[in-house]
């Protein structure tokens, strides 16, 4: 195994900008994932952390509260119908990322590296992106806005400058 390279702060900022700019412009998820793949560091969960934190921001944007929770029953089918997950492994990984974002929103940060280590695959960041996309769509539906508007709102709250439409 190669030494575990760590992302630089500018890499983290760039990953956030790629995800939010892509979602704000309506870019296809495959294109956003392609751009993020160039940043992924092998044997490291990066950029999963940033994507899950953005997903947590999207949960916040949705106005979710304990009296008004997000219904997770069938959530992938309702909010990611174009990305069907097949097989036990894909279902588990996507459910993990969805749950990890909710944990972060609740103030509990999961041990991503340890939790994903047994997967023997370097793809937590991919499932984290899908959790982000899912929660962006949840927020958009609950707020009566578009995903693009939710992405711009999160970018504004974080002080991230996005290209104008």
Q: Tell whether the model's pLDDT for residue 2 goes beyond 60.
A: no
Quote the CA–CA distance of 15 and 138 in Å, as a whole number.
Answer: 22
Positions of E strands within 112-163: none
CB atoms within 10 A of CB 110: 16
Domain boundaries, the chain: 10-158
Greatest pairwise CA separation for the chain in angstroms: 47
Mean pLDDT of 76-87: 91
> How would residue 89 be classed by pLDDT, with cut points 50, 70 and 90?
confident
**66 Cβ neighbours under 8 A, 6+ residues apart:** none
- At 1 the pLDDT is 42
For residue 23, CA distances in Å to 1, 5, 31, 136 come to 34, 28, 10, 9
Q: Which run of H or of E encompasses 71?
A: none
């990890």: which residue's tokens?
A: 100
């Amino acid at each position: 195994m190669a030494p575990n390279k760590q992302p630089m702060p500018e890499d983290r900022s760039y990953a956030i900008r790629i995800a939010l700019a892509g979602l704000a412009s309506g870019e296809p998820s495959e294109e956003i994932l392609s751009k993020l793949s160039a940043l992924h560091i092998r044997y490291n969960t990066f950029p999963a952390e940033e994507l899950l934190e953005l997903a947590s921001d999207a949960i916040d944007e949705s106005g979710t509260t304990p009296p008004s929770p997000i219904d997770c029953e069938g959530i992938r089918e309702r909010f990611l119908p174009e990305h069907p997950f097949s097989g036990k492994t894909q279902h588990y990984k996507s459910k993990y990322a969805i749950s990890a974002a909710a944990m972060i929103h609740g103030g509990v940060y999961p041990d991503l590296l340890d939790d994903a280590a047994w997967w023997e695959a370097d793809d937590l960041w991919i499932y984290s992106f899908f959790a982000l996309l899912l929660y962006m769509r949840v927020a958009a539906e609950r707020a009566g806005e578009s995903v693009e508007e939710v992405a711009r709102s999160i970018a504004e709250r974080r002080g991230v400058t996005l290209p104008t439409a």
